[in-house]
Structure 1
Amino acid sequence: MSCCPQPLIFLLLAAAAAPRRPCGPLGLSRDTVLGRPGANITLRCWDEAPGNVTVSWRAEERGRSQRLPAGNALPLHRLRHEDAGTYSCFVGSQRLRSLRLLVQEPPETPRVSCYRRSHDHDVLCEWPLWAKPSPGTRAMLWVKQRFTAENATEQRCRFFSKAQKFVCRVKVPRGADDTKPFLVSTCVSNGAGGAAGEDKIITLNGVLRPDPPLNVTVTALEKAPQRLRVNWSYPSSWDHRFYWLRFQVRYRPEPAQTFSEVDQVTTTWLDIHDAWRGLRHVVQVRAQEEFGHGAWSEWSREAVGAPWTGPIMEASARSTASPYPFLVAGGSLLLGIALCIGIVLRYRQLWQMGGWQGAKPEGEGQHVLVPLGPPRPPLSDTPLLSLPRSPAPGGLHVTSLDYFFSGQ
């Protein structure tokens, strides 16, 4: 097996395990004195002051001057951050010495996280602080490509007091490889000491983290009591003309504490089909790069909406809530049952009575015909064409039909 030349091996090892940059306290000048909060300290004008000289002190901070007790030594007890400033000693009106007092604690160890809002944004690395840093605290960040011998680029980090965190911006050159690894190092230092963060290896794709979706709305769909329409829009920092996002939607009815989730949503809207009738629902949306690179965004602000409730639903709700319709319906049903039972018993009684009388004599009709109107007059009493005339002697009157049917 062939072996690489020794110089090449040393170069690869040096590139793979680059030494950490020193991260110590900031250099203090000769006339700077460091004190920790809560400690006691003594300032001296001379190392050995003459016995016949009266020394006076003044504290100067932000344009204000304050007289202090006289003496070559100035004791300060239980230091506070407000005690930091410049202390000058005088003999008469002549200034002999000025000392700068720093009241500081060693900085917190940075715990850095890096992210990139989109493919065309720089990388931001940040870390939060528990307490406000001492005045003069400096935070630095170094970035270099891994496995290369090139020098690291240095970035100065900025402290944001409102968010209580340091933020460093890493410039991304145009056309940079999104899969190439970078080594990130951080150091925070002040007069009391220095603290180095853990080195991080990142890629441009791996630190993608979009901003949350915007304008999330929840609306009801007409005549759909279990459906909700959710709409949202891309974050302004993501250019969706060239790169897309995928989304995740979570929702819950307000009495519940757990969410239902819908994954792999590629549109900017979603229909929820299993909403609870008549209840308000809380909905949130988050986003990730379309191919799954990087991390999910934070959840959007909560949006609230309730499914459709129409007249039928309202009438049903009222009838469900009121007991009177049930009482009326139950009474009607019982009355109908009682009537039916009475009719059945009545017919049964009549049937039994008919059975006791026995059979009727043969030839006697079983039904009696009842005339529906008054009896019609005989045909002879009803004129057909005209009034009858007196018949001729010996002749036959054809219109007197009673003659044929009388039997005489």
Structure 2
Amino acid sequence: MVGAAAQSWTCFLHALLLSVVSCAETRESPCPKPEDLEMPVLWCYLRHPASNIRCEWRPQKKLPLSSQATLVVQKGFESSPVTKSCSYVSSAQKFNCRLEHREGDGEKYIVSLCVTSRTDRKISNVTVTDGNRLLQPDPPMNVTVTPMERAPRRLTVSWRYPSSWSRSYYTLRFQIQYRAENSRELSMGLTLSTSYLIEDAWMGRKHLVLVRAQEEYQHGSWSAWSSEARGTPWAEPYLPESRPTQASSEYDPDLYENSLSHEEYSPSTAADGEVPSQPLVSSSVPRYPLFIAGFCLGLGLCLFMGMAARHRGRWWRRIVAGGKFKSLFLPHTEGGRTEPLSSETLLMTPCPSPTGDKTSMYAAATGGHVSTGPNP
């Protein structure tokens, strides 16, 4: 019984000790565990075909002060690997490594990055590459967008070569990307020059322009995009309306007409230098009443001609129906003298008799006078 009780107390004390230790581990300990290193991600590039290869790594979290980085390089598949020390740039918070490279060298490089601390060590993935594949220029510099005068749909984009690229032998080609502000429609362009003309810009809209570079014969990859540049096409300047002053020598018909509407010019008073005691009657006639009067006159004339055309056939039939058409135009004798028939008499001629009496019809037409001349 005593042994069993002692064993129970031992188990209880052991469990209590484990719980205390576990609670202590959850709190901040004066002796922390060694910090694990971050897996490095290596990135290598070549800014110019005649420059050296650079490799770098940007840690995502803070590293121990004792951390170091070493570049492991093997040139070709038959050579032995060598190490190159890397430096830490505190301003950029990255490790920077330099690898010697000869211009035009197409040899393969097998590279990796080894990072060590006092308690841990990590190595990056192994990369197999060459100078042509690593070539990546820096972005173009000083990109500007300028409007063209009197061209509301054109913009001129200009830039400079990156400072890290020498133009002594190698040249670059450039890609332009632009769009109007608040628009998702992108437009692209390619050129070997350091300027580009945009000919399909939106009138009155601000445009956003980016430029990037690549080796002329497409060796390597494109550079990163340049800083964004903005510009708006040329627009017609607004000029407020201005009326000519009295000192203007140009003839203004409105001004001349307004001056005549107040006072009529008199040569006699102008010659004598006298000013009339009261304003003279204006001789100018307003243009709008004249226009209305002319319009009404033309409308009346058109109505009259229409009515005449409508009744012309009726009058013609009335005249011809009596069979004495020629006699209407013959002169008749009244009081010993011959007089032609007037147009009023012809218009007032009554309708022919239903009996068909030609003599009575002619007598009515001539006012009761019958011509003694020979019949036609």
Q: State the TM-score, normalizing by the size of structure 1.
A: 0.54
Query: Could you tell me which residue of structure 1 aligns to residue 229 of structure 2?
Result: 303
Q: How many residues align?
A: 249
Q: 1:137 aligns with which of 45, 49, 67?
A: 67
- Structure 2 CA distance for partners of 1:289 and 1:343, relative to 1, 3 Å: farther
Of stretches 203-212 and 188-197 in structure 1, the one that deviates more from structure 2 is 188-197
Q: Which amino acid aligns with 1:279?
A: R
What secondary structure is seen at the aligned counterpart in 2 of 1:294? coil
- Partner Cα separation in structure 1 for residue 62 and residue 171 of structure 2: 39
Query: Could you tell me which residue of structure 1 aligns to residue 115 of structure 2?
Result: 188
1:125-274 pair list within 5 angstroms: 125-148=55-78, 150-172=79-101, 174-175=102-103, 177-263=104-190, 265-274=191-200
1:3-402 pair list within 5 angstroms: 78-79=28-29, 104-148=34-78, 150-172=79-101, 174-175=102-103, 177-263=104-190, 265-311=191-237, 345-354=299-308, 358=315, 362=329
Q: Is the 8 A contact 1:114 1:207 kept in 2?
A: yes
- Partner Cα separation in structure 2 for residue 196 and residue 365 of structure 1: 130
- Partner Cα separation in structure 1 for residue 298 and residue 64 of structure 2: 101
Q: Which amino acid aligns with 1:348?
A: C
Measure how far apart 1:249 and its partner are.
0.3
1:233-290: CA deviation from partner (whole Å, max 9, x where unpaired): 1001100121101110000001113421113x11111101110011111111000111
What secondary structure is seen at the aligned counterpart in 2 of 1:129? coil
- Structure 2 CA distance for partners of 1:351 and 1:77, relative to 1, 3 Å: closer
Q: Which amino acid aligns with 1:196?
A: I
CA RMSD of aligned residues (A): 3.4
- Partner Cα separation in structure 1 for residue 304 and residue 82 of structure 2: 114
Provide structure 2 residue ranges, at least 5 long, that are not aligned to the other structure: 1-20, 240-291, 320-327, 330-339, 344-376
- Partner Cα separation in structure 2 for residue 188 and residue 162 of structure 1: 20
Measure how far apart 1:344 and its partner are.
6.5
- Partner Cα separation in structure 2 for residue 348 and residue 257 of structure 1: 63
Q: Identity rate of aligned residues, in percent?
A: 36
- Partner Cα separation in structure 2 for residue 198 and residue 103 of structure 1: 26
What secondary structure is seen at the aligned counterpart in 1 of 2:97? strand
Measure how far apart 1:340 and its partner are.
10
- Partner Cα separation in structure 1 for residue 113 and residue 107 of structure 2: 20
Q: Which amino acid aligns with 1:117?
A: R
Structure having the higher Rg = 2
Provide structure 1 residue ranges, at least 5 long, that are not aligned to the other structure: 1-38, 43-74, 84-100, 316-337, 367-408
Measure how far apart 1:104 and its partner are.
4.1
- Partner Cα separation in structure 2 for residue 189 and residue 271 of structure 1: 53
Q: Which amino acid aligns with 1:105?
A: E
Q: Which amino acid aligns with 2:196?
A: L
Q: Which amino acid aligns with 1:272?
A: I
- Partner Cα separation in structure 1 for residue 230 and residue 167 of structure 2: 26
- Structure 2 CA distance for partners of 1:178 and 1:205, relative to 1, 3 Å: farther
- Structure 2 CA distance for partners of 1:217 and 1:365, relative to 1, 3 Å: farther
- Partner Cα separation in structure 1 for residue 293 and residue 70 of structure 2: 96
Which structure: greater strand fraction? 1
Q: Which amino acid aligns with 1:154?
A: T
Query: Could you tell me which residue of structure 1 aligns to residue 277 of structure 2?
Result: none
1:344-391: CA deviation from partner (whole Å, max 9, x where unpaired): 74333212454559579746799xxxxxxxxxxxxxxxxxxxxxxxxx
- Partner Cα separation in structure 2 for residue 122 and residue 115 of structure 1: 9
- Partner Cα separation in structure 2 for residue 339 and residue 110 of structure 1: 97
- Partner Cα separation in structure 2 for residue 364 and residue 271 of structure 1: 88
- Structure 2 CA distance for partners of 1:244 and 1:364, relative to 1, 3 Å: farther
- Structure 2 CA distance for partners of 1:147 and 1:365, relative to 1, 3 Å: farther
